[in-house]
Amino acid sequence: MSQHVLRLRPTVLAVTMLIAVAVALAAATGADAQSARTCRSADLRYPFMKGGPETFGVFRLKIAGGGCATAHRVAKGWMQRFEAGLRAGRVKLRRTVSGFAFRQLPPNAAQTYRLIGRRGPATIRFDYVVPNG
């Protein structure tokens, strides 16, 4: 009987460790999801024609590891620099703004740049919808 108990203990220990790791990963994932904030970005949008709906600009602004003021400031800076380039005839996505390093995510809609920027523990995400006219 003691042999059976000895064989069972490593198995129980392995299962217990596996459960502990799974719980820790689930808690970490839940903490990341909870710490991401959705921030207002209505003032970073504009209409195609005067008086029309504000369908272009920054949408779905979120930040994890920082405040909405930071997310808004960085998204506004990215938008201003990108649009200045457009007016100058260059379509170049900004790679850095205020110390945040940006990269493009796969698009989920036409005329949309999905962006993620990171600086230390802070992560900013937003969609930028470009006018086509």
Q: What is the tens place of the pLDDT at every residue in 59-95? A: 999 999 999 999 999 999 999 998 888 888 888 888 9
Instruction: Give alpha helix (H) positions in the chain.
Output: 2-35, 68-87
Q: For all residues of the chain together, what is the average pLDDT?
A: 81
pLDDT-derived band at 31, boundaries 50, 70, 90: very low
Q: What pLDDT does residue 107 have?
A: 87
Given a cut of 90, is residue 119 above it in pLDDT? yes
pLDDT at 110: 86
The pTM score is 0.70
Percent of the chain with pLDDT over 70: 73
Counts for the chain of helices (H) and strands (E), in that order: 2, 7
Instruction: Give, in order, the Cα–Cα distances in Å from 95 to each of 3, 62, 73, 78, 122.
Output: 62, 18, 16, 9, 16
pLDDT for 126 equals 95
